[in-house]
């Protein structure tokens, strides 16, 4: 059936549309409500989910080593297929220093 509301508590959830995702069995769980500390999503129908191993949890940390965005929304121009793109999942939600050898000017 789907449609069960799943509540996830944490911190630093990004409420800008498309910036926070929840998936269940590789299928999107539609976010119904989101705050900095909590999000609620509506689960997909079981028939729509696929078998999967447990996915990554924590904070998805993305870095473009040399590419810089421009304009008022610089992140919109960044491309995950760029040669200098790096990503990792940090267990938890705290970045403790550089992950990919960043030396200065990075935001965590």
CA angle 43–87–75, rounded 5-degree value: 85
CA distance linking residue 84 with residue 33, whole number of Å: 34
**Does the predicted TM-score (pTM) go above 0.85?**
no
DSSP secondary structure string for all residues of the chain:
----EEEEE-S----STTS---EETTEE-EEEEE-SSEEEEEPPPGGG---------SEEEEEESS----SS-GGGG--TTSTTEEEEEESSS---S-SS---SS---
Q: Give residue-wise pLDDT tens across range 69-97.
A: 777 777 777 888 989 888 888 776 667 77
* Sequential pLDDT tens for the chain (108 residues): 888 999 988 777 888 777 888 888 778 899 999 998 899 999 988 888 776 555 556 777 888 888 777 777 777 778 889 898 888 887 766 677 778 877 665 554
């Amino acid at each position: 059936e789907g449609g069960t509301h799943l509540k996830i508590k944490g911190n630093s959830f990004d409420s800008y549309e498309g910036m926070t995702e929840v998936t269940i069995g590789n299928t999107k769980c539609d976010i119904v409500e989101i705050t900095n500390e909590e999000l609620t999503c509506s689960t997909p129908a079981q028939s729509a989910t696929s078998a999967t191993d447990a996915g990554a949890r924590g904070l998805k940390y993305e870095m473009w080593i040399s590419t810089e965005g421009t304009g008022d929304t610089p992140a919109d121009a960044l491309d995950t297929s760029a040669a200098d793109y790096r990503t990792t999942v940090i267990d938890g939600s705290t970045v403790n220093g550089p992950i990919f050898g960043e030396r200065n000017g990075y935001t965590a």
